Chains A and B, each alone.
Chain A
Amino acid sequence: MSSNRRGVGLSAFTRNHISTAQYASHGNALRSAQSDSLQTQLSVFQSLLHQFSITHAKDIRSNPTFRAEFARMCNAIGVDPLASSNAGGGKAESGGSFWAQMLGGSVNDFYFELAVRVVEVCRDTRAENGGMIAVAEVRQRVQKGKGIGGGMEVSDDDVLRAVDSLRPLGSGFTIMKLGHNQMIRSVPKELNTDQSTVLEAIQVLGYVTLSMLQINLSWERARSIAVIDDLMADSLVWVDKQAEETEYWSPTFIHDTGGQ
């Protein structure tokens, strides 16, 4: 209001000064009121979440659907149960992880345990599948696991989260999409476009042949051979010489077709 009225003389400077100060103090008051109410909201929310997680700690550990929902909820409100354990008290009042405090570390531990299993499965099958394995396959193997604490009830979602939790280690475990299958790649090697194209094609039928590649992708024979040779060298495809035309199969189908 006063800003439009031009004061005359030196007094204009003082008036200007006073009004800015008033604005500032008013702004401060508003801000603090807002942050106060946020603080209360947050603390209420925190205590509710705390209560929730205590009441349901057992469910979170044992029931995969429940755990997935819980994790999704946390994600939606911008709380990452895994990341916060590394943040080292970013959100927590007295050091230590927000989640570790809330859940007694059970959620974290769960995912770290699972991650260890996932790494084991990937290592065990590496020679067979060249370090590329379907998430669903890993889940099945973890569930069937015979080791101590084997037979964990897990969902695909859990496996993905567990692989994610490995990232800070720089372990080279990555999730990649092939067709509509999610795969875990445990050998840090980049696939070139041709290779991914072929692998994607394989996901459809389980195998490809050289002429299929030539016809469908209009690749030259030499190109198809080069790609297949590369994939074979990396154990990513297996050759079947007993078909009419030599077929190249993806080892992920060992388990798909064999499931009883």
Chain B
Amino acid sequence: MASTSAAGPSNNKPFQFPPHYAFPPFFTLQPTLSTRTSQLHSWSQLIQAYCRHHHLFSLTLIDALATPLFHNAPLRRQLSARDARAIVDWMSSAEGDSRAEWIGAAPKKAAATAAAAADGDEDTRGRFWVFWRKPEEWAGVLEAWVDATGQRGSVLTLYELAESDATANQEFHGIDAELLQRSLMVLVKRGKAQMFGGEGEMGVKFF
């Protein structure tokens, strides 16, 4: 998947799809409201589990449509772009527990957005966060890790947090820089950390 640069410790075990994945109608959004809600729940869980397994923090809709996540090749069923968008929209809503979020402008992923635009789809809505942990939850994880490793009071760079060997077996290893900053901002707001530095090299100090 295009959107995540560094893969964490590569998972050898194949992702275990839920039973719904083998159920053909799962790939057609259901017209009945209650059925649809249940279906959206199942999709949300599947997407989160899939991203967690493959250590992905965001997806590009157009690319994701071709991956096994949205395309069950043996079953010859695949989610349409429109339905996939509806699912992400739902996941972003309060009802969907804000488990996703469209990324407004994504200059880094110009290629992806261009592809989306070329496809005639809404241009900027190509990429989205999948919050299998929300920023607030990541904040908790980061804080717990800092606590456990006794690094309160010391200064860490954001790069160190995401990419150093010390975090290699942590869930947040390889985390998207933008998402990391957002999670740290949560801690800053709580008065648990302070961020400084500028473009390229940002540091953070935990209290």
Contacts and interface: CB of A to CB of B under 8 A. Distances in A.
A238 B34 contact: no
A258 B21 CA distance: 7
B26 to A, nearest CB: 8
A233 interface: yes
Contacts of A249: 23-25
Contact of B30 (A238, A243, A247, A259): A238
Nearest to B24: A240
B72 to A, nearest CB: 10
Interface in A197-245: 207, 232-233, 235, 238-243
Contacts, number: 69
A127 B30 CA distance: 12
Interface in A244-260: 247-249, 251, 253-255, 257-260
B158 to A, nearest CB: 37
Contacts of A248: 25
A259 B39 CA distance: 18
A232 B24 contact: no
A80 interface: no
Contacts of B42: 128
A43 B129 CA distance: 72
Contacts of B25: 238-240, 247-249
B22 A257 contact: yes
A33 to B, nearest CB: 65
B19 A255 contact: yes
Nearest to A247: B24
The B interface, classified by DSSP as helix, strand, loop or mixed, is helix
B23 A242 contact: no
Q: How large is the interface on A (under 10, 10 to 19, 20 to 34, 35 or more residues)?
A: 20 to 34
B34 A235 contact: yes
A260 B16 CA distance: 10
A259 B19 CA distance: 6
B3 interface: no
A251 B35 CA distance: 10
Contact of A127 (B20, B23, B34, B76): B34
B11 interface: no
Interface residues of B, number: 25
Nearest to A127: B38
A241 B42 CA distance: 19
Contacts of A257: 19, 22-23
A253 B31 CA distance: 19
Contacts of A235: 32, 34-35, 38
Contacts of A258: 17-23
Interface centre among A235, A238, A240, A253, by most chain B C-beta atoms within 10 angstroms, is A238
Interface string B74-86: 0011100000000
A257 B37 CA distance: 22
A232 B23 CA distance: 16
B23 A253 contact: yes
A232 B31 contact: yes
Contact of B77 (A127, A240, A251): A240
B19 A239 contact: no
Contacts of B27: 240, 242
Interface in A32-54: none
Interface of B: 16-28, 30-32, 34-35, 37-39, 42, 76-78
17 contacts: A127-B37, A127-B38, A130-B34, A233-B32, A235-B32, A235-B34, A238-B23, A238-B39, A239-B30, A240-B24, A240-B25, A240-B27, A241-B28, A254-B20, A258-B17, A258-B18, A260-B16
